[in-house]
Amino acid sequence: MTLKVAIVDDEANARAAIRILLARCRDVDVVAECRNGLEAVEVLRWLSVDLLLLDVQMPGLDGFGVIHALGSKVPPTVFVTAFDAYALRAFEVDAIDYVLKPFDETRFVAAFERARKRIGERRTIKWAQRLIQATPQHAATAPLAARLPVPSGNRVIFLNFDEIDWIEAANQYVIVHAGAKEHLLRESLQRLAVKLPGDRFARIHRSHLINLTRVLEVSRLGSGDASVTLAGGKQLRISRRYRQGLDAILT
Same domain for 171 and 63? no
Residue 129 is assigned to a structural domain of this protein: no
Answer yes or no: do 34 and 108 share one domain: yes
234 assigned to some structural domain: yes
In angstroms, the CA 133 to CA 154 distance is 19
Calculate the alpha carbon distances from 240 to 163, 191, 203, 215, 236 in Å: 27, 21, 11, 18, 13
pLDDT digits (tens, 9 = 90+) for 4-28: 999 999 999 999 999 999 988 888 9
Q: What is the CATH number of the domain that holds 110?
A: 3.40.50.2300
Which residue, of 122, 151, 173, is where some domain finishes? Answer: 122
Does residue 136 sit within a domain? no
pLDDT at 145 over 60: no
In this structure, the answer to whether residues 100 and 207 fall within a common structural domain is no
Which pLDDT score is estimated for 96? 86
Q: What pLDDT is stored for residue 78 in this prediction?
A: 93
Could you tell me the sign of the dihedral formed by the alpha carbons of 37, 41, 47, 48, in that order?
Answer: positive
Weakest mean pLDDT among 97-101, 129-133, 214-218, 227-231: 129-133
- 157 plus 246 within the same structural domain: yes
pLDDT at 245: 62
3-state secondary structure of 81: strand
Same structural domain, 175 and 214: yes
Give CA–CA dist 239/77, Å, rounded: 31
In a domain, residue 245? The reply is: yes
85, amino acid identity = A
- Mean pLDDT over 116-123 rounds to 76
* Maximum C-alpha span of the chain: 60
Do 183 and 220 have their domain in common? yes
- Phi/psi-derived region of residue 232, left when phi > 0, alpha when psi is between -120 and 50, beta in every other case: left
Q: What is the average per-residue pLDDT within 41-51?
A: 89
Same domain, 114 and 150: no
On whether both 101 and 153 belong to a single domain, the answer is: no
Instruction: Tell me: pLDDT of 65 over 80.
Output: yes
Give residue 131's pLDDT.
45
Number of domains in the chain: 2
Q: What is the pLDDT of residue 20?
A: 92
Q: Burial, 155: exposed, middle or buried (Cβ in 10 Å; 0-12, 13-18, 19+)?
A: exposed
Residue 15 shares a structural domain with residue 102: yes
Residue 56 resides in a domain: yes
| Residues 6+ positions from 194 with CB-CB distance below 8 Å | none
Q: Radius of gyration of the chain from Cα atoms?
A: 21
What confidence tier does 132 reach under pLDDT thresholds 50, 70, 90? very low
140 falls in which pLDDT band (50, 70, 90)?
very low
- Say yes or no: 106 and 161 in one domain: no
Is 22 a member of any domain? Answer: yes
How does strand 77-81 pair with strand 97-100? Answer: parallel
Residue 171 to residue 42: CA distance in whole angstroms? 32
- Note the pLDDT of residue 153: 67
42 and 89 share one domain: yes
* Residue-range definition of the domain harbouring residue 220: 142-250
Q: CB-based contacts of 16: which residues, under 8 Å, 6+ apart? A: none
The pLDDT of residue 144 is 44
Within a 10 A sphere around the Cβ of 75, how many other Cβ atoms? Answer: 17
Residue 42 domain-assigned (yes or no)? yes
